[in-house]
């Protein structure tokens, strides 16, 4: 079984803090992590590998050279091979262009039975790149997987819905996107970390991925950022004094006055 896992290195947005004086973001010192859903995808692949002798797990990412750290973490968790697609030419790509670049790289790898991605990255929250890769490769997709069972060449997935779940079956090859409920990702082991540094993270630059230059980067992306702005803030209200019985009484009175209770 040849398994490919697409991961993204993201800033840990839960650690992003606001400067209380300026209201601006403090971006320094925000740690980079493997996107959480992607780790669930990797864990799912590693479990399939554990149960199917002779399987390999290849981790693929697109990002700056610093994403090497995320790739090494994936290797230390048990991935066999890591390919980082990295180059200035790829910068500014929207989800369409990103999926086109990654799909082109996957076509170059050629041989795969299952592709696993996280549902969405916490820095973009689009959940688009997984399905877009599947479309570019012309294979079926099953999104929001919370359980994956493999029986020969047939995969059975529980796909999460708003009000329950669906059991979906497909023949390989297929692309599956993972959610948090799928599993608990394993930790790196000391041996894994040691082994990870014996392995090489392959870097594929622009020359290594046979893409049409006109379809990548900002110029090849159908969407552009027109402007960015800080979210509108609701004005600051009233700070009640203290935190005792009287404070609570005042609050209840104020709510009652406004007919909110």
Tokens linked to 126: 């689009």
Residues 6+ apart with CB under 8 A from 176: 41, 44, 114, 115, 116, 117, 141, 142, 143, 145, 148, 155, 157
SS3 state of residue 30: coil
Angle at 119 (CA atoms; ends 87, 106), nearest 5 degrees: 45
Residue 115 Cα distances to 82, 130, 153, 258, angstroms: 14, 9, 14, 55
Between 195 and 219, CB nearer to other proteins: 219
Q: Least separation, in Å, of the C-beta of 53 and other proteins?
A: 27
- Comparing CB distances to other proteins, the nearer of 49 and 143 is 143
Cβ-based nearer residue to other proteins, 187 or 229: 229
* Shortest CB 4 distance to other proteins, Å: 18
In this complex, which beta carbon is closest to other proteins, that of residue 110 or of residue 229?
Answer: 229
Q: How far is the CB of 47 from other proteins (least distance, A)?
A: 21
Backbone angles phi, psi at 209, to 5 degrees: -115, 115
The nearest distance, CB 152 to other proteins, in angstroms, is: 15
In the complex, what is the shortest distance from the CB of residue 110 to other proteins, in angstroms, rounded to a whole number? 19
Q: Which is nearer to other proteins, 152 or 237 (CB)?
A: 237
Contacts of 249 (CB under 8 A, 6+ apart): none
Q: What is the phi/psi pair of residue 93, to 5°?
A: -70, 135
Say if CB 152 and CB 52 are below 8 A apart: no
User: Minimum distance from CB of 198 to other proteins (Å)?
Assistant: 27
CB 108 within 8 A of CB 205: no
CB closer to other proteins out of 127 and 193: 127
């Amino acid at each position: 079984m040849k398994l490919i896992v697409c991961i993204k290195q993201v800033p840990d947005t839960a650690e992003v803090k606001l400067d209380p004086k300026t209201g601006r973001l403090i971006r320094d010192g925000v740690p980079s992590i493997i996107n959480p859903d992607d780790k669930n995808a990797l864990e799912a692949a590693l479990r399939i590998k554990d149960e199917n002798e002779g399987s390999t797990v290849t981790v693929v990412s697109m990002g700056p050279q610093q994403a090497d750290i995320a790739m090494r973490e994936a290797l230390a968790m048990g991935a066999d091979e890591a390919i980082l697609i990295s180059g200035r030419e790829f910068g500014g790509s929207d989800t369409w262009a990103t999926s086109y670049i990654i799909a082109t790289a996957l076509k170059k790898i050629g041989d795969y039975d299952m592709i696993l991605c996280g549902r969405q990255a916490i820095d973009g929250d689009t959940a688009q790149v997984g399905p877009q890769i599947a479309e570019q490769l012309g294979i079926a997709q099953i999104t929001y997987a919370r359980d994956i069972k493999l029986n020969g060449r047939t995969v059975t997935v529980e796909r999460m819905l708003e009000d329950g779940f669906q059991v979906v079956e497909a023949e390989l090859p297929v692309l599956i996107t993972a959610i948090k409920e799928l599993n608990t990702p394993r930790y790196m082991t000391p041996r894994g970390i040691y082994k990870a540094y014996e392995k090489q993270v392959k870097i594929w630059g622009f020359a290594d991925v046979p893409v049409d230059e006109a379809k990548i980067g900002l110029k090849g992306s159908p969407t552009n950022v027109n402007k960015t702005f800080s979210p509108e803030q609701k004005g600051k209200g009233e700070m009640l004094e203290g935190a005792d019985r009287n404070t609570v009484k005042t609050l209840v009175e104020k709510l009652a006055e406004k007919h909110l209770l």
